[in-house]
Amino acid sequence: MASPMGEGLRGRSSGLKPIETKRKVGIEEYDMVTVEDEPLSPMARLFHDRRFDVHAVAFMACKTRISPQPVKEKLVHTLLKHPRFTSLMVVDEENLTDMKWVQTKIDLDQHIVIVEVDETQLESPDKFVEDYIYNLSKTSLDRSKPLWDLHIINVKTRQAESVVVFRVHHSLGDGTSLISLLLACTRQTADDLKLPTIPTKKRRPTPSGYSAKEGLWRLLGKFWLFIVMFVNTAVDVFMFIITIMFLKDTKTPISAPPDFESNKARRIVHRIISLDDLKFVKNAMNVTINDVALGLTQAGLSQYLNRRYAIGGKDKGATERSNNLPNGIRLRSCLCFNLRSSAGIEVATEVTCKGFSNSTICFTNLVGPQEEIGFCGYPITYFAPSAYGQPSALMINFQSYINKMIIVVSVDENAIPDPHQLLDDFEDSLNLIKNAIIEKGLIKNLK
């Protein structure tokens, strides 16, 4: 339990300077930024609710086998510099309904797990890694120490010599922040002093001047865009309100079972496709990479559901033979965003859980480095983020890396027993879209 905080737990000054201290982790002394105890944010508290106990995982496939000692030495100067990764979540003694972060001593040996395995006894190393992550998703992080751990699996798979699984409780930050922090622990393999570079959206050059007529049309265009944005926002707000009240997605084979709280385990699998293929479709259709990702996701889900709805043994659900999909399917995706303090954490939890429970899918699309990077000095061939503990039976993550796009699905096997088939449908859908572009001659629109 933390010592009493006295007055100012809620209204402390943000201008207090951090205190520099040194602590030992069994390797060497390291400088550590000590900050004042801080209460959990509304979103962090939400992620500790039993219905929304979400853990983020990221697995990194490395080109060489990993020695634990260099990893520990590197983490001292990267990950442990962040206060959240050296803090415990404790209940405030003055207000037992509040929780806060309190910094503590850390022993890296309690956070780094070395998986011992006899590779000669493995029938499928890839399946072993997949099952290991699945079994990991059945567990929660120990609340008696900072909420993260790192698992080193020195097993040769089809695409790597070893795999690192990084697990973090979602209360430490949102997905984008955690991936950014993870990338901050990496360096370019070409220059180990440089951080990864993330592509940014290029701004179109603004013309220097307009005629009176052009200026009028631009003003009208901006006004029309404002009207469209206002209407779309009003519709979205209305749909959100009725979703948390009563509007549910259509019950389909991939919907979360009613007793999802009793089974938080998730099967997490991935598929690597060519980022150049997505760029090909993007340029031909004059859309964004996110549009292409959503398009192949919708097409792949249609194929998968068509197969699941197939009746009898003759029709396997191939769209060329028959359309087994019922009309008017409502199937939506949820995106989580930061919550500000309002009516209380109980209300926020209820609203968020209803929003996710009444929707079918969680979807994210993250931009990754453009060049090869190394984690603690070990070159990475690919990395893939995901999560478990969410109410949705299906979570889809798109993660780019160099010239690759990694599609990761986290599924409840009670709803989706064959996730690899779903990935096949995603990949087949991309190929169908590519072939349709070529056949229709849209390739001429490439710039």
Separation between Cα atoms, residue 292 and residue 443, nearest integer Å? 15
Is position 82 annotated as part of the catalytic site? no
394: closest CA among 254, 248, 247? 254
Compute the Cα dihedral for 280, 285, 288, 293 and give only its sign: negative
- Amino acid, single-letter form, for residue 3: S
Give the max Cα distance, the chain: 77
Distance CA 348, CA 41 (A): 12
CA distance 59 to 97: 35
Q: Token match 């979703």: residue?
A: 243
**Catalytic residue of the set 151, 169, 170, 270:** 170
Q: Which residues are catalytic?
A: 170
